[in-house]
Amino acid sequence: MNNETYKYIFGPVTSRRLGISLGIDLIPYKTCSLDCIYCECGRTSDSTIEIKEHIPFEGLKDELTTYLNSNIKLDAITFAGSGEPTLHNRIGDVIAFLKENYSEFKVVLLTNSTLFHHAYVRDRVIGADTIIASFDAASENVFKKLNRPHKDLTLFKMKEGLLKLREEYQNEMILEVFIVPGVNDSDDELKKIKIFADSLGPESIQVNSMDRPGTCDWVKSVSKERLKEIETFFGIDSMKFNHLKSTKNISCKDIISEILSTIRRRPCTKSDLKKMTGQNTGVEKALEKLISEDKIVLKKMPRGDFYYTKDRG
């Protein structure tokens, strides 16, 4: 993908849970209703709950049409990126456009769950095939410490909104809990999160922990043993993911553009980037070039060495 052509879509990225997924970024960097201490996009510079047309719907539609008509293999199209997608007032129109014209792709929404207390936000996302909704804290003080919400948001509103969404939304809902040791991993907090999750009744729960560079250096990952314990506590079975193979042929210039547009939103390892592009030597060369030009940074993490752009907050 050439990011001189595409401003609002990125990837596709390969992930364990979604396979090969094209990203749609509806929100400018770094606009969000939360400022999570683990955010892999960096600090929120525009903390807002203002819902508006953050990027032009027509421009996005043009990009999607050009890209999706080019016979690329995908498993899913995912609203993700550098901010909260439901802050865009036309997310419902984007979903309707995809369903009408590209119904072969699964439409997935990654959301921080903060805006579902608005009935109109719930209405807009009802057509998504899967909603992966974050819920990291069940106590107001932990919510504030971990997710650093906009001043007009409360955990109470978030819980109410999620419960209403569950009543109205008929498709798959996955609750995602991000664990930060020392912040939301006490037995008491986990018990409260589980009580809420049980009352919500999502199709499944996923537990995540830091495995790529985030916003705060002090945020550490959970040990594998503890993660397993927490998964067992939530009644989570190990999930199996099927991956499709990328069939793209892309030029060297495109690899650089594609790498930049992806790691600006999500730090990746070399192996992530090779899977994403289907290229080995091309990725090696592109990373060398970007490092020598001082455009990207390498950070060592327990899961591997992650690359991200220098202009990230």
Judged by the rule CB under 6 A, the positions of this chain that interact with ligand SF4 are: 32, 34-36, 39, 41, 44, 83-84, 112
Q: In this complex, which beta carbon is closest to ligand SF4, that of residue 106 or of residue 265?
A: 265
Q: In this complex, which beta carbon is closest to ligand SF4, that of residue 212 or of residue 274?
A: 212
CB of 41 to ligand SF4, least distance (A): 5
3-state secondary structure string across the chain: CCCCCCCCEEEEEEECCCEEEEEECCCCCCEECCCCCCCCCCCCCEECCCCECCCCHHHHHHHHHHHHCCCCCCCEEEECCCCCHHHECCHHHHHHHHHHHCCCCEEEEEECCCCCCCHHHHHHHCCCCEEEEECCCCCHHHHHHHHCCCCCCCHHHHHHHHHHHHHHCCCEEEEEEEECCCCCCCHHHHHHHHHHHHHHCCCEEEEEECCCCCCCCCCCCCCHHHHHHHHHHCCCCCCCCCCCCCCCCCCHHHHHHHHHHHHCCCCEEHHHHHHHHCCCHHHHHHHHHHHHCCCEEEEEECCEEEEEECCCC
Q: In this complex, which beta carbon is closest to ligand SF4, that of residue 17 or of residue 270?
A: 17
CB of 110 to ligand SF4, least distance (A): 8
CB of 84 to ligand SF4, least distance (A): 5
Q: In this complex, which beta carbon is closest to ligand SF4, that of residue 38 or of residue 169?
A: 38
CB of 136 to ligand SF4, least distance (A): 9
CB of 225 to ligand SF4, least distance (A): 25
Q: In this complex, which beta carbon is closest to ligand SF4, that of residue 76 or of residue 132?
A: 132
